[in-house]
Chain A
Amino acid sequence: MSLLDVKDLSVSFGRHRTRVLDHACLSLEPGQRLGFVGASGSGKTVLASAIMGLLPENAHVEGSIVFQGQELTALTDRVFSAIRGRNLSMVFQEPMTALDPTMKVGRQAAELIGLHRETSTMATRQRVEQIFDRVGLDHASRIADAYPHELSGGQRQRVVIAMALMNNPAMVICDEPTTALDATVQAKVLSLLDEELAGVNAACLFISHDLGLVSRICTDVAVIHAGKIVERGSAAQVFMNPQHPYTAGLVATASIDAVEPGTRLPVIEDFFDPRQEQ
C-alpha cells in the first residue's frame, strides 16, 4: 500500500468556483522523493496545503487523499492535528514567516514535541538541542535561546527543517524550501535536507519551480501546469526525455549553462503554446 495516495483531487475557490487544481492524481511510497514542478500560480502550493489540511475555509475540495490508509479530506481539525507535525510535516518557503517572531526558537521546537508526546521539560530541551546540533546549527543551546530575528536566513531554515523532522515523520512536504536563501547557503541546506530525509527514511514531496534543485533531491518528478499534472516519471526520464512540450520548455529554460553566453535564452513559449492546449 502506498504511503500517500491522491486520487482525482480537485480544488476550487470562492463563489465562482475557480478551479486551481484539476483531477490531480499522485502516489508516494514510503521513503520515496517526488519533485513537484511548475510555474507560480500552477497549483503547487494548493496541493501541499490540501494534503496538510491547511486550505482556507472558502476552498471546495473534491476527490480523495489517503495517507497511511486514512482518508484525510474527511477529517475534523482535531483529529488532523494529531497527524500534522507528527507523521506529516512541512518545511515552508519563507522561514521568517514560518516562525513565530515573539517566541524563542527552542520553545517553538519544544512545543512541537509537547503536542504529540508526554515528556519532561528536561528531556524535551535535550531533544531540541540534539536535533539542532544534528542539522548543523553550532552552539545549539545558544541558538535555542535566540529569537528568529537574531538568526540568519540559513540558520532559520535549518531550524524549520529541524522542527519538521522532530517527530520522525513518515512524510515531509517541502514548499520551495530554499528560494529565500542565496546560492551557497542553498547548496548547504539542500544537502542537509538530503541527509536528514535519508536518516529518518521519510518520504518527501518537494515543491519547486527550479528543475536543478529537484534533480539534486528527488528520484521522481511530477510536472504541473495550470492545475493539471501533465507529466510524471523518474527524474532521469523526465529531464532527459520529456514527453510533454511544457516539460521540454521547463527543462530548456532551466539550463542557462547550455546556451552560448549573450545569445537568446529559450523560453517556454518556444515549446508550448498554452492557448493551443485548451
Chain B
Amino acid sequence: MTAYSLDHVTMAFGGRRRKVTALESLTLHIGEHERWGIVGESGSGKTSLLKILAGLIRPTSGVVHFLGRDLDHANREAMASLRASVQMVFQDPRSSLNPRMRISEIISEPLRSPLLKGRVDVPTNPETRVSEVLDAVGLPPDAATRFPHEFSGGQRQRIALARALAPRPRILLADEPVSSLDVSVRAHVLNLLNSLVDSMGLTLIMVTHDLAVVRHTCDHVGVLQQGILVESGKVLEVMNHPKQEYTQELLNAVPRIKESG
C-alpha cells in the first residue's frame, strides 16, 4: 500500500506582490515500509514538504493521498487517520522538548491525544508504555522523573524519539534528526533509529542535507532543488549514478576524511 501519494503538489507563500514558491508541481509516491531521505539545501522546500506530509499546512494546489484517502482538510476522516498514525522528530531537541515537563509527561502526552480515540492498538497504560519506549531508546527507567535540561543533546534526541514512538505510529517523519548532534553521538542515534524502524516496521521519511546519512539509513531518496524534485529513486542508483549535476554537487559536499594528508 502507498503511504503517501502526491500529485502535482504546489506550495506557494505570500501574496501577489512577493510570491515565493516553496514546492512546484511535485509528484512523489512513498510506499509503506519504505525509508525515504529528502535532501536539498536550505530553502529547497524540504521543510514545506515535511509539513504537508504531517498535515500541518495544506498545499496551494495538487492532491495528497494518505493511505489511499484524499487528504483534503475538509476530509475529517482522512485527517484523523493521518494525525493518529504519523509522528515527527524535530531537528533541535533543545527546543522541541518542553523544559517544564518531566520526561514521563513529555512521552505520555501524545497518548492522551483525543486523535487516537478511533484506534484499537493504542497503548492503554501510559506508565508501562513510557518505560517500554525509554527502554527501546536505551535510556534508564529513572529518566522518566527527570527534566530535559538534565540530559545531553544525544539523550534528548532519544527522548524525542521515544515520544514519537509512544503512540505506535505507522509513519515517522524526521526533520534533520542528527544535524544538531556531535559526530560521535550521531552514530548512536542513527543506529537507534535504524533498529527501531526495522523492528517496528515503520515508514520513515527523513529530511536532511547530509547525503551520507541518507545513504546509510534510507532505501529511497528524493533530491529537491529550489522547490523542484530534480531526482528521485533508489538510494544506491541515485548516489552511484546521479543524473543531475546538483545531486553530484551535494555528494561532493559531504565532508570525508582525506585518504592522504
B191 engages A183 (CB within 8 Å):
no
Residues of B with C-beta under 8 A to A215: 255-258, 261
Residues of B with C-beta under 8 A to A237: 261
Closest-CB distance, A206 to chain B (whole angstroms)? 13
* CB-CB contacts below 8 Å: B153-189 with A: 153, 182-188
Q: Which of A71-79, A104-112, A265-273 contacts B (4 or more CB under 8 A)?
A: A265-273
Closest-CB distance, B221 to chain A (whole angstroms)? 11
A261 engages B183 (CB within 8 Å):
no
User: For the complex, is A236 an interface residue (Cβ under 8 Å from B)?
Assistant: yes
B253 engages A266 (CB within 8 Å):
no
Q: Which of B55-63, B78-86, B110-118, B210-218 contacts A (4 or more CB under 8 A)?
A: B210-218
Complex Cα distance, B143 from A259, in Å, reads 32
Residues of A with C-beta under 8 A to B257: 211-212, 215, 239, 251, 254-255
Q: Is the interface of B mostly helix, strand, loop or mixed?
A: helix
User: For the complex, is A54 an interface residue (Cβ under 8 Å from B)?
Assistant: no
Q: Given A239-B261, A265-B216 in contact, is the A184-B250 Cβ separation under 8 Å?
A: yes
State which size class the interface on A falls in.
Answer: 35 or more
Residues of B with C-beta under 8 A to A240: 261
Q: Given A184-B41, A265-B216 in contact, is the A219-B184 Cβ separation under 8 Å?
A: no
Residues of A with C-beta under 8 A to B236: 261
User: For the complex, is A186 an interface residue (Cβ under 8 Å from B)?
Assistant: yes
Residues of B with C-beta under 8 A to A186: 253, 255
Residues of A with C-beta under 8 A to B258: 215-216, 235, 239
Closest-CB distance, A46 to chain B (whole angstroms)? 16
- Chain A, Cβ-Cβ closest to B214: A261
Residues of B with C-beta under 8 A to A234: 261
For this complex, 25 residue pairs linking A to B, each with C-beta atoms less than 8 Å apart, are A39-B182, A152-B42, A153-B42, A183-B41, A183-B253, A184-B209, A185-B42, A187-B255, A210-B255, A212-B256, A212-B257, A239-B257, A250-B183, A253-B183, A254-B183, A255-B256, A256-B216, A257-B215, A259-B216, A261-B235, A262-B217, A265-B216, A267-B184, A267-B187, A267-B191
